[in-house]
Structure 1
Amino acid sequence: MTFDNFSIRLLEMRDLQHYYAMVENNRKRLEDFFTGTVSRTKTISETEQFLKELLQKCGERLYFPFVIENLETKELVGFIDIKNIDWNIPKAELGCYTDENYAGKGITSKAFSLVVDHCFSHFGFVKLFLRTHESNSAAQKLAEKSGFQIEGKIRKDYKTTSGQVVDLLYYGRIKA
C-alpha cells in the first residue's frame, strides 16, 4: 500500500535498525501505552528478539505488524499493528504510533485508513476496534476520522509502564 511518498508494508527483519531508531526516538512518548514495545526494545539485541517474536506471530496469523516507511529516506515513520485477533467472529484490534517528527501531518490518518480498508478486504474482518486512553485526543480523532464510533469506556483495562491500571475508551467499526 502506498500514498504520497510513503509505503505501508509488513515489518521485516531488515527493518531492525530503523525500527529500533524509531522506538528510541519516541521512547518517552510511547512508555505509558506501548508497555511491551518499550520494555522489549532497550537494546538492539533485545529489539531483534522482539521482532523475531512479532514475525513468528505474523506467520501464525495471530498478529500483523505494519510499518510506515518514508520512500525517499527509508526511515520508518510509524507503526500500525493488527492484534487481539479473533478469527471466529472475525474481528481484530488496531494500534498505532507515529514518529514525533511526522506527527500531525496527516500521514497516520492516510496510512490508518488504508490499513482499515485492507483489514476488511484482505483479511475479511467484520469488526475492527481500538482502545485508547481518554487523554489521547490524537487517537480519538484518528478513530473518528477513520469511521470508528465510540462504543464505551472499559474500566480498569490496561496497565501502564508505571503500573497504574487505567480506563480505556473503546472504538469500533463494522464492515460496511
Structure 2
Amino acid sequence: MLVGCFTLILFRRDLHTISFLVGNGLCEGINLILKNIVKESRPMVRAYQYTDYGMPSSHSQMAWFFAAYTILFVLFRLHHNRDSVFEMLWKVSTLLSVVVMAALVMYSRVYLLYHSWAQVLVGAVLGVVLGVSWFAVVHLLLSPFFPIVVSMSVFELLMIRDTSLIPNILWFEYTNARTENRTRSRKLVPMKSQ
C-alpha cells in the first residue's frame, strides 16, 4: 500500500493526496502505540508473525480509516453536477464499495484467525474516528493554507499543486486533457501536410 501511495503522490503531486498519506502514517503509528500499550495477544499465535499483539487490528483500522476518509471526501469535495443521476449513482456505488471492502477486510482477519471480533471492531471504530478526525483537520484547518504552501519556491520546484478550489478534479482533468489534445492535433495536421 505504501508503494501505491508514493506512486500516487509522485504522479498527482497534490496536497490532498500528500495529506491523506500523512493521515495514513499517523493512523498506523497510533495503532502501533495502542498495540504495545494494550498487549492483547492474537487468537492463534504463529511462529512467523512480527508481533504477537492483536488489539486493535491494524488492517481493520486502516480499512475503516480509508473508508471514512473516502466517504467524506466524496460527499464534501467531489461535486460537479448535483442534479445528475449518473453522479448520484457513481457516488453511491463508490461509498458502498468502500464500506463493503472495509467490512470484508474486517471479516477476513477474523476468518483467518489473525484477530478476534473484539480486535477488529475496536480497529474499525478507531479507524472511523481517525478518518473523520483527519478529514476534518485537512478540510478545515490545513486546506486554507494550501495556496500559501504551493506558492513557496521549493513546492513550485517539486510541482506540488493545490486542487482544493476545483469542485470535481476528475472532470477538470478530463476536459483539460481533451481540450489540449484537440489543440495539439490541430497543430499537427498542418505540419504533416507540408
TM-score, reference length from structure 2: 0.30
Asked which structure has the greater RCO (Cα within 8 Å, sep 6+), the reply is 2
Structure of higher CA gyration radius: 2
